[in-house]
Each structure stands twice: as C-alpha cells, then as structure tokens.
Amino acid sequence: MRSKLYIAMPVLLLMALLTYPVLQIFYEAEENPYSVEIVETSTNSDKSICRWGLCRGKNGSIPEAAQDDTEILLSGGGLYLGDVNENKMYLTFDEGYENGYTEAILDTLKQENVKAIFFITGDYFDKNDAIIRRMLEEGHEVGNHTMRHYSLPELNYEKCENEILELDRLFYNKFGRHMRFLRPPKGEYNSQVLEIANSLNYKCIMWSFAYKDWLTDEQKGADYAFQSVTENFHNGAVLLLHAVSKDNADALASIIQEARRQGYEFGDPEDLA
C-alpha cells in the first residue's frame, strides 16, 4: 500500500500543477485598483458573488467565461460582447482617478474618429469636470462605475442601489442627462445587482478583453500594450482599458490603426444600449 502511495503522489502533484494555470486564466477577474473597505454586507437572500473572468481565445476566437456567471449576466440583461457576427469592437475605459492621460486618449479618439465609453467613479466626477464635459461634447458615453467603488454584491439592496443612484443624480444635475451603462467595480456582481441595474434603466457592461494595465509603477511600454491588446482582437470585442496607464495612452492610436488594418471597425456605444 505504501509503495502505491509513493507512485500516486507525484502523479497527483503533476496533475495539480498542470491544471492550476488553466483555472487561474479562466477565473482571472479584474483586481481592485481603488481598494475600499466594506462596512455593511448584504442581507439579501442572494449572497453569491460572481467575479467576472475570461479564458482568452486565440486567433480571433471568442473568449469564454464561466457558464454560471455568464448565464446570470445575460439573463439579467447584461452583456460582455457585441455582435459576434460583425467585425466590430468597442472601446471602454475605466476611470477611477485621473493620472494625466485621459486628455491624450481623447485626442487620439478624436483624431481616429472613434467613440468610447468612460466609466467614472464619484471621486473622478468630483475632480474632473472639464474632462467629463469634453467626453460628452466629443460624443463619448460616460458610464457609471459607482460612487465609491464598493463591491456591489457585498452591500444590501438599499446601499447597492444608492451607490449607483448617488452618482447618477450628481451627473444629471450637472450635465442634464442620466447615465445608462454600469460597470460593477472589480467585475463583481450577482442577480441582485443586475435587478437593481435594470430597475434604474441601466445596462450592465462587462468586457471580453482586459489585461493588467492599472499598476502605474509597473508599466511595460507602449509596445507591450499594443501586443497585449492586438493579439486578442475578436468580433464583438468589448475592450477594457484603464486610463491611468501611460502605455495605453501611448499605444492607443497604433491599436486602433492595427484593428482597421485587420478589417475591424469600432462601433458606437449606442450599439450596446
């Protein structure tokens, strides 16, 4: 019996080592660049948390997400892809705080005639009035990344709703329009979050591509950003980029031009509404 165990243990260890990277890639969700402490957790019966993550496709194939998480997202009216039958992609930017690159991003988008969605937090709203006005004036969509960037499934119904509504009301009072796209912080959601989003006439937008671009002291250069994004192009792609990244700002024009060279076009956010 002991000899059989000695033989079995290395085999089991090898299987674990081979399996781990696959699982890690499949469930790799967006980490939290704007960490906050949650002080009140959900008292709703639905306490499950879906953490959005993807297994990247190859050679233009569509990325796959965990089946249960995808079903909850889609059945709740959310999306992470556009029309996969069209050579069309969508640019989205998360804006937790301003790091000096959004103006350059807007310059590139204007030059290339591309419209994007910018998901802002309450802190970003408070400090960047002129940039937000420019986003709107140049035809971009400003989406709701919540007031305080809390993990929404960790909040009770009322607090979750308020995280969305508080920012929406501030935005409406200043700019005369409501937001209509929601991106849950950290990619964390559940059926309650989607129910609240629907009740407020929001579309929950996740993503079909993201990479670790938000660490401002670990930027790897424009070439790295270009390669990371362009090797993951696919039909209907919803690309998530963080605007705090210098690499993204520097590479954006080349990324857009390469997409067009490959036969893709960039869709209007209206397509996702």
The DSSP letter of residue 217 is: G
Per annotation, catalytic residue among 145, 149, 234, 242: 242
- Cα–Cα distance list, 205 to 11, 79, 165, 181 (Å): 42, 5, 17, 7
Cβ pair 233, 264 in contact under 8 A = yes
Nearest to 91 by CA among 224, 229, 192: 229
- Cα–Cα distance list, 157 to 146, 193, 195, 200 (Å): 14, 8, 10, 13
Per annotation, catalytic residue among 94, 123, 168, 250: 94
Distance of CA 88 to the CA centre of its chain: 18
Nearest to 184 by CA among 272, 94, 100: 94
Whether 94 is catalytic: yes
Whether 168 is catalytic: no
For the chain, how far is it from start to end, CA to CA, in angstroms? 63
Which residues are the active-site residues? Answer: 94, 242
